[in-house]
């Protein structure tokens, strides 16, 4: 089966359902990612936000089965449970960076050992743009965000929700001096951890004008927070919630999202392999 680039993204994200010993639950977004260790060895993880899994003891994701030819069976699923969640989490070394990884190597080794065929598409380091590639982008670029806003998903086919938006600050610049940038998109509870991509599959316009034929797909980062306007006139930055909560009419979301730059994902290597 030949999947388009957009169709491949449907198998890259996961809906992370978490619980703790107090009976509290949350829903967030993550995406499959693999770090290259050698030419034939990779370390699979799920990239998400720290606040998605913080204070949680159990997590569950769902992956699709595959047939004998390796094609996805969309309506047949397999649940992966993380009964001792804290043992699987790899936190970004900087406490101020809302980024972590959940190790999935043990789960995929189990699938291999038990001859269980699953279908997953991993994002990797090859689609994280370099500084030079970021500088080639324009200040305003169309972006694609994939996730589970308000926890919504196609549970029959185990598929995420695609949403469009645009950059609100230049992706090459560090917003407020931090390795982040801002997007113009509605960011609902459940969207925390959603991958944010430049996703041009046929053609695109470079910032100096004209038209370039061909694909341009970059993983720019992952959503983690957004500004909120309060009755007192203050603008506060809050983590994108992982549960649906009533919002006072004196607190309004500005339909902007703060995105951690993808280059920070690579910084997880220092706590994974050293």
Q: What is the mean pLDDT of each run of 10 residues along the chain (274 residues)?
A: 92 96 91 93 96 95 96 96 95 96 95 94 97 96 94 95 97 97 88 95 88 94 83 57 47 83 96 72
Tell me the whole-structure pTM to 2 decimals. 0.91
Q: Which of 12, 43, 44 is nearest to 30 (CA)?
A: 12
pLDDT in tens, 4-54: 999 999 999 999 999 999 988 889 999 999 999 988 899 999 999 999 999
pLDDT in tens, 217-228: 999 999 998 876
Domains recognised in the chain with CATH numbers: 5-124 (2.40.10.10), 126-265 (2.40.10.10)
Q: Which long-range contacts (CB under 8 A, 24 or more apart) does 205-212 make?
A: 206/136, 206/138, 207/136, 207/137, 207/138
CB atoms within 10 A of CB 130: 10
Residues 6+ apart with CB under 8 A from 47: 30, 31, 33, 99, 100, 101, 193, 195, 222, 265
Q: Are strands 123-124 and 25-36 parallel, antiparallel or unpaired?
A: parallel
The pLDDT value recorded for residue 247 is 44
């Amino acid at each position: 089966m030949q999947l388009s680039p957009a169709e491949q993204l449907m198998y890259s994200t996961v809906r992370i359902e978490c619980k703790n010993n107090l009976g509290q639950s949350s829903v967030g977004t993550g995406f499959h990612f693999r770090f290259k260790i050698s030419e034939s060895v990779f370390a699979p993880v799920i990239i998400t936000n720290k606040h998605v899994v913080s204070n949680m003891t159990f997590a569950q994701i769902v992956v699709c089965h595959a047939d004998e030819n390796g094609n996805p069976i969309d309506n047949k699923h397999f649940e992966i449970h993380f009964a001792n969640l804290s043992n699987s989490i790899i936190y970004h070394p900087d406490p101020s960076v809302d980024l972590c990884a959940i190790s999935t190597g043990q789960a995929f080794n189990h699938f291999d050992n038990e001859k269980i065929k699953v279908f997953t598409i991993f994002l990797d380091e090859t689609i994280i743009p370099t500084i030079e590639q970021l500088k080639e982008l324009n200040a305003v670029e169309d972006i694609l965000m994939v996730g589970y806003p308000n926890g919504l998903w196609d549970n029959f086919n185990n598929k995420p929700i695609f949403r469009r938006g645009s950059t609100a600050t230049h992706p090459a610049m560090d917003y407020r001096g931090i390795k982040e940038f801002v997007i113009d998109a509605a960011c609902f509870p459940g969207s925390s951890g959603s991958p944010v991509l430049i996703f041009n599959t046929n053609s695109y316009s470079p910032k100096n004008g004209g038209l370039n034929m061909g694909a341009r797909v970059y993983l720019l980062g992952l959503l983690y927070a957004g500004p909120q306007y309060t009755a007192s006139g203050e603008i506060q930055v809050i983590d994108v919630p992982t549960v649906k909560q009533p919002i006072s009419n004196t607190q309004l979301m500005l339909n902007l999202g703060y995105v951690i730059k993808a280059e920070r994902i690579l910084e997880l290597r220092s706590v994974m392999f050293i």
